[in-house]
Amino acid sequence: MRDEGGPTLSAKARAIRAGDVRTISRGISGIENGDEEMRDLLRELYPFTGGARVIGFTGAPGAGKSSVIHELIREYLRFGLRIAVLAVDPTSEFTGGGVLGDRIRMPVFHDHLYIRSFGARGRLGGLSDSCGQVLSLLDAAGFERIFVETVGAGQSEIEIRYYADTVVVVANPNQGDDIQMLKAGILEIGDVFIVNKCELPGADAAAAELTKMTHLFAKGERDGDQIAGYIPPVIKVSTREKIGLPELLNGIEECLHYLEDNDLLRASRRRRVEQDLSHTLSRVWQNKVLAPFKATPLWQSLSEDVSAARLDPWTAGERLWEAITAADFITTLPQKTTLPKKRSKPRKE
């Protein structure tokens, strides 16, 4: 039985625990916009997290990530699970706008399904700082599987490793000869590999090549990101011809089982938490230390000296560090420049 949280919870937290879509949606917007009140809500919800499994999807643009998620949703719904999808799409760094197109490929509605599109909002990697918070909210809302579609380019494909329990890498047949070219990084983060569009020529070759690579990695040295003793499956899928979808569900669930049986889910949760904590700490450092520090005479005079080549940047860096490590450092920072207030009100466009 799911603990609904009892009367000590706020109305909003209770609505989210009960799966109220509107409150969940508004909560996610609040997180995205950095609303202050979200911190209290998340504090209330956090004890209820831990039930969700996060599955990340990455792969080149157009590889079929959204189509695969769509078919998987249907497979999963048959098991009565509650599913959430976070689909991240690139937005223009210049205008901040964009058409978030993943959802068109997922024309499915169900009481147990929640789909949300995200603009990468110009953030490096596309997975926002808010990703961890949004996942916690959905987890507390009782979603049992959360699918995250990354923009499939740049840093996000590596970052998803920190947030997902299982990462699915979507490749295509035409990459047959190029599989070796798939960035080593991608091969290292995958827990399940699929060759989507497998009805097209070249699928067998691509799958064989991928299998070879996964074994190579399995035998080789594994770093902390890899699951010890686990060899990622390579599955041929066609969303068009409806091939390989139950097999894909099995592959994902077996990976999750493996993690569970070997007490590794805790490790992936731990990895997510550490990523979140470092995001939080960088933000605090940026706002509470670095920003006011830049306004101090010490910082100003040192940067002046470095610009005039009277001093080298490394020595200047050491002096700044000395200042920071002095016992009374925080009290020397200018008082006025406190946290730049996060806006919850609309910005004038």
Cα separation, 120 vs 100, whole angstroms? 10
Residue with smaller CB distance to another protein, 155 or 211: 155
Q: Which token pair is 130?
A: 């808010």
One residue of 56, 59, 64, 119 binding another protein per CB under 8 A: 119
Cα separation, 191 vs 167, whole angstroms? 5
One residue of 6, 61, 80, 107 binding another protein per CB under 8 A: 107
117 binds, among Mg ion, ligand GTP, another protein, none (CB under 5 to 8 A by kind): another protein
345 binds, among ligand GTP, another protein, Mg ion, none (CB under 5 to 8 A by kind): another protein
147 binds, among Mg ion, another protein, ligand GTP, none (CB under 5 to 8 A by kind): none
Q: Which token pair is 122?
A: 């110009």
Site for Mg ion in 49-88 (CB under 5 A): 65-66
343 binds, among another protein, ligand GTP, Mg ion, none (CB under 5 to 8 A by kind): another protein
Site for Mg ion in 89-118 (CB under 5 A): 102
Element (H, E) at 118: strand 113-119
Choose among 117, 138, 139: nearest CA to 128. 117
59 backbone φψ class: left, alpha, beta (φ>0; ψ -120 to 50): left
Q: Which token pair is 4?
A: 């609904």
CA 201 → CA 149, 161, 176, 181, 206, distances in Å? Answer: 26, 31, 10, 19, 10
Q: Check if the beta carbon of residue 55 is closer than 8 Å to that of residue 139.
A: no
Phi first, then psi: give them for residue 19, nearest 5 degrees: 80, 20
19 touches another protein by CB under 8 A = no
Residue with smaller CB distance to ligand GTP, 76 or 147: 147
Q: Output the smallest distance, CB 66 to ligand GTP, in A.
A: 3
End-to-end CA distance of the chain: 47
Residue with smaller CB distance to another protein, 22 or 78: 22
Residue with smaller CB distance to ligand GTP, 64 or 232: 64
239 binds, among Mg ion, another protein, ligand GTP, none (CB under 5 to 8 A by kind): ligand GTP
240 binds, among Mg ion, another protein, ligand GTP, none (CB under 5 to 8 A by kind): ligand GTP
Q: Check if the beta carbon of residue 293 is closer than 8 Å to that of residue 299.
A: yes
Sign of CA dihedral 119, 121, 126, 129: negative
Site for ligand GTP in 48-67 (CB under 6 A): 59, 61-67
Judged by DSSP in three states, 1 sits in coil
- The type of residue at 280 is T
Q: Output the smallest distance, CB 34 to another protein, in A.
A: 4
Helices (H), 120-183: 131-140, 156-163
121 touches another protein by CB under 8 A = yes
Q: Which stretch binds ligand GTP (CB under 6 A): 1-9, 206-214, 238-246, 278-286?
A: 238-246
One residue of 2, 4, 21, 183 binding another protein per CB under 8 A: 21
Strand 192-196 versus strand 83-89 pairing type: unpaired
Binding site for another protein (CB under 8 A): 21-22, 25-26, 28-29, 32-34, 91-92, 95-101, 103-104, 107, 109, 114-117, 119, 121, 342-347, 349
Which residues contribute to the site for ligand GTP (CB under 6 A)? 59, 61-67, 102, 105, 152, 196-197, 199-200, 238-240
